[in-house]
């Protein structure tokens, strides 16, 4: 049923933040963040969750800072080559102006499929309650 209404889609990530942005120190922070996340899940302690959130923010901040430094160095290194500059900018900042829908079918068809499914849930529940 789920495959009919929300089919699994496989896609390839075109431009991930590669090794040029994720440095060893950031990877170490990511490991610490992940360990803290596991601890927070195990203990359900509010202080562990606060520590995890702080570490998560720190990792995000470091990645953004590293990405800014990378783009700045690429632009500085290629001052004379406009093609390389624009390639760097597009690779890091510009997303597709025409995003593809998450569902390969017509949106109305998908919406009608969901409506039919959820309407039938109530009918089936009522039948089971009467039996």
For 63, phi then psi, to 5°, come to -65, -45
In tens, the pLDDT along 67-114 reads 889 888 888 888 888 888 888 878 777 665 556 656 666 778 878 888
Q: Residue 100 in 3-state DSSP?
A: coil
Read off the pLDDT of each residue in 52-69 and give the average, rounded to a whole number. Answer: 94
pLDDT digit string (tens) for 15-29? 555 667 889 999 999
**35-54: pLDDT as tens digits:** 999 999 999 999 999 999 99
Report domain extents, the chain: 20-77
Sign of CA dihedral 72, 87, 11, 20: negative
**pLDDT at position 57:** 97
What the block records as the tokens of 36 is 């803290």
């Amino acid at each position: 049923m789920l495959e009919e209404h929300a089919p699994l889609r496989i896609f390839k990530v075109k431009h991930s933040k590669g090794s040029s942005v994720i440095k060893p120190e950031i990877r170490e922070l990511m490991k610490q963040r992940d360990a803290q996340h596991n601890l927070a899940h195990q203990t359900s302690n509010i202080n562990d969750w606060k520590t995890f959130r702080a570490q998560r923010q720190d990792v995000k901040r470091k990645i953004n800072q590293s990405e800014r430094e990378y783009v700045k160095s690429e632009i500085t290194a290629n001052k004379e080559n406009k093609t390389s500059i624009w390639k760097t900018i597009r690779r890091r900042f510009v997303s597709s102006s025409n995003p593809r829908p998450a569902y390969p079918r017509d949106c109305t068809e998908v919406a009608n499929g969901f409506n039919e499914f959820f309407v039938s849930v109530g009918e089936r529940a009522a039948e089971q309650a009467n039996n």
